A and B are shown apart, each in its own frame.
Chain A
Amino acid sequence: MRYIILVVLNLPIILLALLNIITQYKMKRMSKRRFIKQLILWVATLTIIAGSYPLYNLIIGRPSLDSIDLSVFDIVQTTAIIFLFYIINKQRQKSEQNERRLRDLHQELSIKLSLHEKN
């Protein structure tokens, strides 16, 4: 049951992230290279979350890999990490976009104003 809760809590965040990158790519705001990297990252996260229960079953009983069952705290912590990762990634994209726009604006403004003064 706890593994289902883990998936249910994290699935919307991951789907939102995937939707976000697909939209950005389709609207040509993201390069193909960046899109592929982001896609791999989120699909890998989804696979790990979805595969945590089979993975647990696989490693249980093996002395070197044996671990305790998933706790509620683990669920909260994992969800918080994935949510923070999503937020940080989105904010970084926005900040880089703004930085680039500001730089382009400053560059264009400097050229235009200087040439205006010259003429």
Chain B
Amino acid sequence: MSKIKPVTKKICVVIPAFNEEQVIKDVILDVKSSFDKTNYQTEIVLVNDASKDNTAKIAKKYGATIINHILNTGAGGATATGLSYAQQNDFDIACTMDADGQHASEDVVKGVKLLIEHNIDLMIGSRLISSQGMSTAKIIGNKGLSFITYVLFGINSTDSQSGLRIFSKTALEQLHWKTNGYEFCSEMLWRAKQQKLHISEYPIQAIYTEYSMAKGQNNWNAINILKNLIRRRVVEMFE
């Protein structure tokens, strides 16, 4: 009797990055070691959003596929490029994670397993289900933006700004957003709701180092995000 070979899922881990040479090596090695323990066929794709340092060179050295942006577009644009690559190359699942080392790669693997088990289209790693290690200012900022996402788009998410997301093949084909900055996180949820995709959340840990605290968004950026989200919502009322 011949053995049926189990189908290995093709996973694309997209890391949008801008000037992350200090930590990118650790992030890539961490993702590699976590996925090596699984039977997934994994490719790490670093979208270099026109960095001025050696981010791309270091990432390439440690085995990541590099997509170099010609122009700096922002987190939304870089994520869109990475997911477009995943779709074009027929990946079954794509994950996005931050390049500053804020996410634990075990959480990415956990998210992939949950997405497959529960047949979900878009899985969001929420840092706020258990907000241990997060500063009060960040908790307020993130909860505030999640509340705004709820008011503007009617989406109830505990962490609408999380960069750790897992996408099914259906989500890869159907999700397209228009904003390029950090507001794409909320807009993506809105588009997913419009496309009637199955969205879910799971708890993840947030690793805050001195580096990621200095690099991450501050609460003033939330005002910028809010302004852009309102503009997008109003414009689409007439579209």
Residue on A nearest B67 in the bound complex, by CB: A114
Count chain A CB atoms within 10 A of each CB in B66, B80, B178, B239 and give the residue with the most: B239
Residue on B nearest A109 in the bound complex, by CB: B70
A71 within 8 A of B: no
Count chain B CB atoms within 10 A of each CB in A38, A96, A100, A111 and give the residue with the most: A111
A47 within 8 A of B: no
Contacts of B47 on A, CB cut-off 8 Å?
Answer: 110
List which B83-102 residues lie within 8 A (CB) of chain A.
84-85, 88
A30 to chain B, nearest CB (A): 9
Count chain A CB atoms within 10 A of each CB in B73, B81, B237 and give the residue with the most: B81
Cα of A110 to Cα of B79 in the assembled complex, Å? 13
A111 and B65 contact, Cβ closer than 8 Å, known pairs A34-B239, A100-B178, A106-B71: no
Residue on B nearest A99 in the bound complex, by CB: B178
CB within 8 A of B238: which of A41, A106, A107? A41
A104 to chain B, nearest CB (A): 9
Q: Is the CB of B70 within 8 A of A110?
A: yes
List which B19-56 residues lie within 8 A (CB) of chain A.
47
A37 within 8 A of B: yes
Counting chain B residues whose Cβ lies within 8 A of the other chain, the interface size class is 20 to 34
Q: Is the CB of A110 within 8 A of B69?
A: yes
A118 and B77 contact, Cβ closer than 8 Å, known pairs A107-B84, A110-B70: no
B184 to chain A, nearest CB (A): 12
Contacts of A100 on B, CB cut-off 8 Å?
Answer: 178
Q: Is the CB of B68 within 8 A of A37?
A: no
B180 within 8 A of A: yes
Contacts of A89 on B, CB cut-off 8 Å?
Answer: 238
Contacts of A38 on B, CB cut-off 8 Å?
Answer: 238-239
